[in-house]
């Protein structure tokens, strides 16, 4: 009973914080405008840690590497905590497997963030297409939907590229990421 409560707290605190850090990384990578409710929330929630880390970890190739490394660190701490609570880590500490598994989990979270943005964009296009959040959702999804829109024909006025993107994201999580996840778990 106590282990379930600890696992729940790890999920709520560390897993969520890793997702928010990863969202910050993606928003900066996609050059999304941060003057909206989502961007301001992400910046305020993560500034206390990211601004300190930027003193020591410089940006590389235009990427906010300090935020990405913080997300990897938080996800690694989350996985280590889960494995300790569940009793998987014994006398040795499998750092290579833990880091590989954390990287796979971050890729999965990235795909879930993309899928959530596509889904929210579809819902908002029906309900309120001019909300301030729709601009950031457009920036997040544009790079992924635009190549599909060239290939997937519209059916009447319905754009099926969003559905194709959701299917592709699921397939990427199942096949290549699933294989790498099994490889990472075999290192334990």
User: What residue spans define the domains of the chain?
Assistant: 2-186
Asked if residue 165 has pLDDT above 70, the reply is yes
Structure tokens belonging to residue 149: 């829109």
Q: Using alpha carbons, select from 143, 124, 123, 134 the residue that is nearest to residue 26.
A: 143
Q: Which residue matches tokens 């999920």? A: 11
Backbone angles phi, psi at 160, to 5 degrees: -90, 0
DSSP one-letter code for 33? -
Asked if residue 25 has pLDDT above 90, the reply is yes
Residue 84: band (very low, low, confident or very high) from pLDDT cuts 50, 70, 90: confident
Q: What is the mean pLDDT of residues 94-116?
A: 94
Residue 90: band (very low, low, confident or very high) from pLDDT cuts 50, 70, 90: low
Alpha-carbon span 162 to 149, nearest angstrom:
9
Backbone angles phi, psi at 54, to 5 degrees: -65, -20
Alpha-carbon span 59 to 66, nearest angstrom:
7
* C-alpha radius of gyration, the chain, whole number: 18
Asked if residue 15 has pLDDT above 90, the reply is yes
Q: Which residues, 6+ apart, have CB-to-CB distance to 144 below 8 Å? A: 114, 118, 165
For residues 100 and 126, the model is more confident at 100
CB 22 within 8 A of CB 106: yes
Residue 62: band (very low, low, confident or very high) from pLDDT cuts 50, 70, 90: confident
DSSP one-letter code for 154? P
Q: Among residues of the chain, what percentage have pLDDT more than 90?
A: 67
DSSP one-letter code for 35? -
CB 86 within 8 A of CB 2: no
């Amino acid at each position: 009973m106590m282990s379930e409560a600890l696992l729940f707290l790890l999920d709520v605190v560390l897993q969520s914080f890793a997702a928010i850090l990863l969202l910050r990384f993606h928003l900066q990578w996609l050059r999304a405008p941060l003057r909206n409710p989502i961007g301001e929330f992400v910046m305020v929630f993560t500034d206390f840690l990211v601004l300190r880390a930027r003193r020591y970890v410089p940006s590389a190739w235009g990427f906010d590497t300090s935020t990405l490394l913080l997300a990897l660190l938080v996800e690694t701490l989350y996985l280590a905590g889960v494995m300790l609570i569940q009793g998987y880590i014994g006398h040795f500490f499998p750092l290579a497997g833990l880091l590989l598994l954390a990287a796979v989990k971050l890729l999965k979270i990235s795909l879930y963030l993309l899928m959530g943005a596509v889904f929210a964009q579809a819902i908002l296009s029906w309900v309120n297409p001019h909300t301030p959040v729709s601009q950031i959702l457009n920036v997040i999804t544009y790079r992924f939907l635009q190549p599909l829109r060239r290939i997937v024909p519209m059916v009447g006025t319905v754009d099926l590229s969003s559905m194709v993107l959701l299917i592709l994201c699921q397939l990427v999580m199942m096949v290549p990421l699933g294989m790498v996840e099994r490889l990472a778990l075999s290192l334990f």
